[in-house]
Structure 1
Amino acid sequence: MRPIAALLLLALVAPASASGLRVTEVTLVTEGDRAFIEATMRWERSWRGAESGDAAWVFAKVRSGQGGWDHARLLPYGHRLLHNHTDGPGPLFTVSDDSLGAFVLRDALAPAGPNHWRVRFALADSLGADVQARVFGLEMVYVPSGPFWLGDPEASETLPSGPDGRWDLFGAFYTVGEDGATADGAYRVSSADAIPVCDGPGSLCYTDSEYDGEGDNAGPIPAAFPNGFGSFYLMKYELTQGQYADFLNTLDRQQTANRAIHGARNYYRRGRGTIALVGDVYVAAHPDRACNYLSWDDAAAYTDWAALRPMTELEYEKAARGPLPPVSGEYAWGTTTILHGDSLFVGDEIAEAEDGRETIGGNANYLPNGVDWQRGYGAHLSGGDGGFGPLRAGIFEAAADGNRERAGAGYYGAMELSGSLFDRVVSAAHPTGRAFTGSHGDGRISYAGRATNSDWPGMDAEGLGLRGGSFAFNPRSLTVARRSFGAYASFYREVAMGYRAARTAP
């Protein structure tokens, strides 16, 4: 065995992170004409249950000399554990059908606990001399196939929606009743077949407004559209500033000119942004902090580069609610209560320095009722760095002791689906969105730094929507069913815009 190159990975998450995945000690080795990458993987809160669990989506980039970084392909076999540093389960490797990455998960059912493995990945292509490798990993949650509910049992065919004009249900999905006009409760997705829209009794529908942020009331939603019935993986956390900096560090000058976000207006002063160019390297001072100021072009490029895909708004609701019947006005953690009420920016304080281990009370980052975010901008968070914006991804999870509500977690374990930053989703309520077929990125972006998938919404973001609310919006915007921006083309960079990606399960 002869090592031909070695590169210590720039950590995706800071070493002090309480729960984040770290991939370190990356070494490229050869045996004859076969090439392998060896790496150490470690994260704290991994689990595998009978129906769901977490996994790491792992992919690699390689380059010769000082050339550009290319996406590495993996063999469907030949991956193995070199050493298990814990007494827990070892890894199971599931390589994607396109060979662009692997899901690495526990090989046995086990409750939440740490993983710490030295592993080997088998590359599909032989490599020459003077080759470097970087390995990247993203924590994902598995959402199994099966039926689920959309919307809210009290959604109405009138706006705002429901009894007494409930703004928390604005534009929510519902089932058309037997009279062909009025709402008759939430809608059940029972197969991967096409879904009729506003087309008589039993069809899916929603109410739109003159603002038209909810959609066009047209359909059907095609069978090729990922409607949530099939199984998929979803990023457990929102994309972080450290992960986005890692992405930038593999791009060339032309690509980074279009994808670097740290020049956005008020990025540092108001938005708690920490990505900066230090010499020739992009560095995030707080790599665990959720990444805001992302345009759709930025998010799509990252998704293509990571060989993932956008999630749809139907998948968003399944990830939040799971198979359970909907509770009217519920948040992603399954209740109608935000644990700290309106105290996050009033009485709660970030504990000590923001070093990846900081904590804060409550279970959501949002704008309390009665707070004027325009006048109070930059003065709401106390402790830590202060300011007004995203927190460490998964910050509420640390003190939750596995309790879903206290962690602010969706049914399958995805964090911050209510509050923090808006989740960009592919809309089922726009013709461009309905044309989405769920293609995955191929690991390569254009010379201008843009995604190249033809079925994804384009630069103008037509066919996208926003779900889940954000730190800059009040509690009624955080509910799972609310769709006031269900077909809103958010193409721009803004303080409350974040992202997380998905991938159809192998």
Structure 2
Amino acid sequence: MKSKNYFTKIASTLFLLFALNSNANNVEITGTSVSGSNITFNISWENSWNANVAPANWDAVWVFIKYQDCNTRLWAHAGLSTVSGDHTAGSPLQVDTVTDGRGVFIRRSALGGGNIGATSITLKMTIPAGTYNYKVFGIEMVNVPQAAYDLGDGVSASTFNSISVNAASQSGGISAATIGGGGPSIPATFPVGYNSFYCMKYEISQLQYVEFLNSLTFAQQQSRITSDPTSVAGTYVVYGSYAYRNGIVIETPGNNAAIPAVFGCDATAGVVNNVNDGQSVAMSNLSWGDLAAYLDWAALRPMTELEFEKVCRGTLPRVAGEYPWGDTNINAFYSSTIENALQPTETETTVVNGRCAVAIGTSSTLYGPLKVGVFATASSGRSSAGAAYYGAMEMGGNLWERTISVANATGVAFTGNLGDGTLTPIGNANQATWPDVTTGLGTGARGGEYVSTAPYVRISDRSFAGTASGARSYTNGGRGVR
């Protein structure tokens, strides 16, 4: 499956496919054209919802646009109008604008559920006149409504005190004595999870990271991979060889430190971007700098560790020792037992509660993270799918969630400022209040991963919540919020 997601100049066609889960979303953006400042495309995805019963939320696709100057060959982030009436959506969808104009949320306009067929969307861009290539990107998100929630569970390692986070917690902050956990007091400027936000439904996939790399300059690419962009075609750029189920390779080498490389997926070495080349597998070996760069580029932001607990537990009462799927069951699954390995339909057919990608393997060529949304089916429940309260997948197991920590002053200085779609010339995020991209000070890890022991997967386990690191690791992944 080769992703062809750009079109040349004004009159060509764009095709973008994020086939993350044939039973979960299968987002497709097709048939793109541009007329003046308007860009039109069709969007479709599976198993969409807008519900007024618990958890009373909806899913959406965060859509943003990159455009490439045909003279300089440089990509930039397109602004979109913040006036709702400037955008149109066919039934049953609506376009929700955001105040910074860095993208839009596309979602169901009324209560309902099921697949969204190809539906026409027209967005008004705010970019200078010129001749451009365009790429349209879509990331599936889940809405996390404004609400009070329980923090801490009373038994997990380093857990917060068992408190309720509410409107007063956000408006007035939370004292160190109230929250516990050994960190400083949390100011009102820190996102504590009470206010509404969107969370990525899945961890970043390998295809999404490839699409990110393919919109960077040569110098920016150098910072975001482990091999030089001038390496020969077929070079694996995450581990130096195929390992831990990561198959991102150089498809076309870069040249003269100026022409960027083109990347693809090739888990089954030979023909790049075949259906079984791991495009849907979660992206591992991300450093904090890699994750921050992706989130800044996508105009998202990092998640705080308090928001992590809100996404997992929702408004339900705390349960001692509970996992993100809402109970104390945990059943580990190992990548060698799955069906349709490395394909968009990768799955595990043994249905039990507490399904979780968390097991120790024996070979780096065999074990690693599973496909995002791997346990979700049309008939799975929350526990058998391993789903968090609001519908986010793999919040426990698979790969560590890198979160903003409240264990130190650097972490609580984070204000929730959003990425703007633009990176530094060497490919780093440059957002004020985000932790340092080199040291990772102010970050930690929550939710466990595929080689963890079970306690680390618990919602309230903070064993590594303040363990800052700027290094890459085969168990690190990530997702963003907005």
Cα distance between partner residues in 2 of 1:90 and 1:58: 17
Structure 1 residues 450 and 97: alpha-carbon distance in aligned structure 2, compared to 1, 3 A threshold: same
SS at match of 2:470: coil
Residue 172, structure 1, aligned to residue 159, structure 2:
yes
Cα distance between partner residues in 2 of 1:14 and 1:414: 13
> Larger C-alpha radius of gyration, 1 or 2?
1
SS at match of 1:5: coil
Amino acid at match of 2:339: A
Residues 399-425 of structure 1 show CA distances to partners (whole Å, capped at 9, x for unaligned) of: 5x2511111111000000010000000
Amino acid at match of 1:447: P
Amino acid at match of 2:29: V
2:12 pairs with 1, 6, 29, which one? 6
1:335 pairs with 285, 309, 327, which one? 327
Residue 81, structure 1, aligned to residue 73, structure 2:
no
SS at match of 1:316: helix
SS at match of 1:396: coil
Q: How far has the Cα of 1:17 moved from its partner?
A: 7.6
Q: How far has the Cα of 1:394 moved from its partner?
A: 0.4
Name the TM-score, length of structure 2 as normaliser: 0.86
Gapped runs of 5+ residues in structure 1?
Answer: 83-88, 156-168, 175-185, 207-216, 379-385
2:269 alignment partner in structure 1: none
Cα distance between partner residues in 1 of 2:117 and 2:304: 30
Cα distance between partner residues in 1 of 2:467 and 2:192: 19
Cα distance between partner residues in 2 of 1:62 and 1:110: 34
1:178 alignment partner in structure 2: none
Q: How far has the Cα of 1:10 moved from its partner?
A: 4.3
Alpha-carbon contact 1:467-1:482 (below 8 Å) kept = yes
Q: How far has the Cα of 1:118 moved from its partner?
A: 1.9
2:334 alignment partner in structure 1: 345
Q: How far has the Cα of 1:304 moved from its partner?
A: 0.7
Number of residue pairs aligned between Structure 1 and Structure 2:
435
Q: How far has the Cα of 1:7 moved from its partner?
A: 4.1
Q: How far has the Cα of 1:117 moved from its partner?
A: 1.1
Cα distance between partner residues in 2 of 1:97 and 1:111: 28
Gapped runs of 5+ residues in structure 2?
Answer: 1-8, 228-235, 253-260, 266-276
Q: How far has the Cα of 1:22 moved from its partner?
A: 1.9
Residue 310, structure 1, aligned to residue 302, structure 2:
yes
Cα distance between partner residues in 1 of 2:21 and 2:466: 39
Alpha-carbon contact 1:331-1:337 (below 8 Å) kept = yes
Cα distance between partner residues in 2 of 1:265 and 1:46: 33
SS at match of 1:38: strand
Structure 1 residues 198 and 439: alpha-carbon distance in aligned structure 2, compared to 1, 3 A threshold: closer
1:86 alignment partner in structure 2: none
1:28 alignment partner in structure 2: 34
1:278 alignment partner in structure 2: 251
Residue 122, structure 1, aligned to residue 124, structure 2:
yes
Structure 1 residues 224 and 14: alpha-carbon distance in aligned structure 2, compared to 1, 3 A threshold: closer
Q: How far has the Cα of 1:5 moved from its partner?
A: 3.4
Cα distance between partner residues in 2 of 1:125 and 1:265: 34
CA RMSD of aligned residues (A): 2.1
Cα distance between partner residues in 2 of 1:240 and 1:404: 22
Alpha-carbon contact 1:195-1:204 (below 8 Å) kept = no
Alpha-carbon contact 2:357-2:369 (below 8 Å) kept = no
Residues 422-453 of structure 1 show CA distances to partners (whole Å, capped at 9, x for unaligned) of: 00000111111100000001110000100010
Deviates more, 1:49-58 or 1:137-146: 49-58
Structure 1 residues 187 and 442: alpha-carbon distance in aligned structure 2, compared to 1, 3 A threshold: same
SS at match of 1:391: coil
1:181 alignment partner in structure 2: none
Cα distance between partner residues in 2 of 1:402 and 1:37: 37
Amino acid at match of 2:345: R
Amino acid at match of 2:329: T
Identity %: 35
Q: How far has the Cα of 1:27 moved from its partner?
A: 1.7
1:100 pairs with 95, 102, 108, which one? 102
Alpha-carbon contact 2:357-2:370 (below 8 Å) kept = no
Amino acid at match of 1:358: E
Alpha-carbon contact 1:194-1:221 (below 8 Å) kept = no
Residues 292-341 of structure 1 show CA distances to partners (whole Å, capped at 9, x for unaligned) of: 01111010011111111101000000000001111111110100002xx3
The equivalences for 1:16-415 within 5 A come to 19-30=25-36, 35-50=37-52, 51-66=56-71, 67-75=73-81, 76=83, 77-81=85-89, 89-128=91-130, 130-152=131-153, 154-155=154-155, 169-174=156-161, 186-191=162-167, 192-199=170-177, 203-206=178-181, 217-261=182-226, 266=239, 268-279=241-252, 280-284=261-265, 285-338=277-330, 341-342=331-332, 344-345=333-334, 349-360=337-348, 361=350, 364-368=355-359, 373=361, 376-378=362-364, 387-398=366-377, 401-415=379-393
Alpha-carbon contact 1:12-1:246 (below 8 Å) kept = no
Amino acid at match of 1:327: V
Cα distance between partner residues in 1 of 2:371 and 2:334: 15
Amino acid at match of 2:394: E
SS at match of 1:303: helix
Cα distance between partner residues in 2 of 1:321 and 1:267: 38
Amino acid at match of 1:497: N
1:489 alignment partner in structure 2: 468
SS at match of 2:60: strand
Cα distance between partner residues in 2 of 1:349 and 1:20: 24
